[in-house]
Homo-oligomer: A and B are copies of this chain.
Amino acid sequence: MAQQQSKRPLTSLQKAVNKEVLVRLKMDLEYKGKMTNVDPYMNVILVDATEFSGGNPSATYGKVVIRGNNVLFIKISSDFPM
C-alpha cells in the first residue's frame, strides 16, 4: 500500500511542503501561501495566505485548512509568475 502510494502524484506533492504554492479551487477562488501540510485528498494547510477572487486579492489568512475536494489544482515551485 505504502509502495503504491509512493507512485501517486499526491505523493510528489509532499515534496512541495514548506514551499510557496497556489491553490485554485473549483469556484473562482485562489489561495497563495506557504503549504505546511498536504494529504492524499489534497486537504491543504496554508500559512500567510492571500485569497484571490476573480484574480484580485480579497482576504488574508494566518492559517487556513482547505478541504481537498474543493481543489482544482495546486501550482508548485520556482516559477511563480502570479
Contact A13 B81, beta carbon cutoff 8 Å: no
Q: Which residues of B contact A77 (CB under 8 A)?
A: 62-63
Closest to A62 in B: B79
Contact of A65 among B26, B43, B65, B74 (CB under 8 A): B74
Q: Which residues of B contact A72 (CB under 8 A)?
A: 25, 27, 29, 66-67, 70
Report Cα–Cα, A45/B9, bound state, in Å: 6
Q: How far is the CA of A41 from the CA of B37 in the complex (A)?
A: 16
Within 8 A of B (CB), among A1-50: 7-10, 12-13, 25-27, 29, 31, 37-39, 42-45
Partner among B29, B39, B62, B70 whose Cβ is within 8 Å of the Cβ of A8: B39
